[in-house]
Copies of this chain bind each other. A is one copy, B any other.
């Protein structure tokens, strides 16, 4: 039984990763999940210098999901390189570093710093507000996405995953722009923009007013977008959005994802990643699937 998948030349022991920002830098879930058993750890987004993030409240529960407006708080690339990468290197898993910035320059700063580090891939979060474009995210315009992808590809020594925002009219345009600019893979979906109001206090549930919606609530949107992109581009796709168990992971793979990531459901079930890894194996055994790659995009 083969559970290995290869993305842009990087071989993962299985297709199960964690979604950026939901697993810290691996350490926090060390008591629940054996990092050695994960296909990859995807880190919280890191910027060229420390970011304070947003005021609290930063999180709010919604039906079968949650909103977050962490604001990409992070300790900056210096600390990250000194502390978080060495921590992850202790484990037999791949390391994917999620990168954020307010301008192309800030992204490139981080990408350059990471280029000589022993990490396996970078995932570029293009949902950050682009300060030069008045806060519009890089991830909502194909031309902006093309531009930033091209620049990053020039500097990076590791393969690049462009992480797409679902807050767009046509996700395939974004996927095609990333592919055309040389992205090695795409991951999707990032969070849907949402809002919650506390009617008794007459205020927003999040200090930031809006936040990113994640969890099982958004899974149908995520599966649809993975399917659409799988039919629009040739580069591999890492699927995420509400994955809670092996069935969900397999659903994304059947829709066309080569790998999957568990996000907010880690908060619901800290053992979720381990259960997904095990559950995929059980499913393969039961359905007599020799190679996990055989189910990628099987539903057409």
Contacts and interface: CB of A to CB of B under 8 A. Distances in A.
Given A197-B255, A247-B199, A254-B199, A219 B299 contact: no
A197 B192 CA distance: 21
> Interface residues of A: mostly helix, strand, loop or mixed?
mixed
Nearest to A203: B299
Contacts of A219: 62-63
Contacts of A203: 299
Interface stretch (A95-103, A121-129, A179-187, A221-229): A221-229
Contacts of A283: 199
A168 interface: yes
Contacts of A156: none
A59 to B, nearest CB: 12
Nearest to A251: B197
A210 B223 CA distance: 10
Contacts of A216: 62-64, 217
A194 interface: yes
Interface of A: 62-65, 67, 140-141, 167-170, 192-197, 199, 202-204, 209-211, 213, 215-221, 223-224, 227, 242, 247, 250-251, 254-255, 283, 298-299
**5 A-B pairs closest in CB distance:** A194-B220, A63-B216, A217-B217, A64-B64, A195-B224
6 contacts: A169-B169, A194-B221, A195-B220, A210-B224, A216-B217, A217-B218
